[in-house]
């Protein structure tokens, strides 16, 4: 009998995860079916309890439930407790373990797809929400030399800076979204996301950016966001959001199965799906 995995969120109809996770399970000869589990908040407790079923290997968790699932789990692993958010649940003999693979997936994308090692580097994060939190803590673990944070709401950025300081991650406030002096600039806001309502909104001034800087947008749809297009127009290297999505999913796959994720297969399936969406 097939075992199950899926993605929990509301809504989840747009998610690419089923496309590349199913391809990965099939490639590895694993009898696991991956589904979309649209779950309103009022149904979250029941949905998470159902994950204890022996037929379920685990789940991904997306907006808006990454924080709300935590009290429903038995134990937290990796960076999830520090970040205060879970995006992967693993069922181990009826006990539910929560992990956060977003930040580690981002770091893996930098290293594997852009040949960029964060160690010792100066990195500017634009935004201070859940995605930025996970990325900031993962960059700290990767020994980034300096992390600067800019956010439209300074109070939110200051809260994140205080948490990073408590675990001795070198971080400071950036008063304006100016790319001067950074090795890597990362857009963690929703600006530029299809359907986000701010598709053409400028986020950063690249006029003074270091010529060798890497510019990253964690948005994967569209593949080339206005943020990345503006950086490329200045001759800067860019990396879109799809690699982070794939590598966080690959880490989740390995937590569920103990099998090395077929990353190339996952990329191929995701790109095929994105290509079909433009037809």
Which one is catalytic: 45, 66, 121, 168? 66
What is the DSSP track for the chain?
A: --EEEEEEESS-TT-SHHHHHHHHHHHTT--EEEEEEE--GGGHHHHHHHTTSTTEEEEEE-TT-TTTTGGGSSEE-TTHHHHT--SEEEEETTEEEEE--HHHHHHHHHHHHH----BT-EEEEE--SHHHHHHHHHHHHTTBSEEEEE-SSHHHHHHHHHHHHHTT--EEE-SS-B-TT-SEEEE-SSTT-TTSS-TT----B-TT--TT-EEEE---SSSS-HHHHHHHHTT-EEE-SHHHHHHHHHHHHHHHHSS---HHHHHHHHHHHHHHHT-
Q: Clarify whether 66 is annotated catalytic.
A: yes
Q: Which residue, 245, 262, 276, 251, is CA-closest to 26?
A: 262
Question: Which tokens hold the place of 156?
Answer: 């939110």
- Bridge-based pairing state of the strands 88-92 and 56-61: antiparallel
d(CA 134, CA 73): 19
**Total count of residues recorded for the chain:** 279
Residues serving a catalytic function are 66
């Amino acid at each position: 009998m097939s075992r199950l995995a899926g993605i929990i969120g509301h809504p989840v109809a747009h998610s690419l995860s089923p496309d590349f996770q199913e391809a990965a399970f099939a490639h590895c000869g694993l009898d696991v079916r991956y589904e979309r589990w649209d779950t309103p908040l009022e149904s979250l407790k029941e949905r998470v309890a159902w994950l204890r079923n022996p037929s379920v290997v685990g789940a991904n968790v997306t907006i808006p439930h990454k924080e709300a699932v935590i009290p429903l789990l038995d134990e937290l692993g990796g960076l999830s407790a520090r970040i205060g958010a879970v995006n992967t649940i693993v069922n181990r003999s009826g006990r539910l373990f929560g992990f956060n693979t977003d930040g580690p997936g981002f770091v893996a994308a930098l290293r594997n797809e852009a040949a960029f090692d964060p160690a010792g580097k100066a990195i500017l994060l634009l935004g201070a929400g859940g995605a930025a939190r996970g990325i900031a803590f993962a960059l700290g673990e990767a020994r980034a030399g300096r992390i600067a944070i800019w956010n439209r709401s300074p109070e939110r950025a200051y809260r994140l800076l205080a948490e990073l300081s408590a675990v001795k991650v070198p971080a400071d406030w950036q008063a304006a979204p100016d790319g001067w002096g950074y090795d890597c600039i990362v857009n963690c806001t929703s600006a530029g996301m299809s359907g986000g309502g701010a598709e053409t909104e400028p986020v950063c001034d690249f006029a003074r950016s270091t010529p060798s800087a890497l510019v990253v947008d964690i948005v994967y749809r569209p593949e080339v966001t206005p943020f990345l297009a503006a950086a490329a127009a200045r001759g800067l290297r860019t990396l879109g959001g799809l690699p982070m999505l794939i590598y966080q999913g690959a880490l989740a796959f390995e937590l569920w199965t103990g099998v090395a994720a077929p990353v190339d297969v996952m990329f191929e399936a995701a790109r095929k799906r994105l290509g079909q969406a433009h037809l």
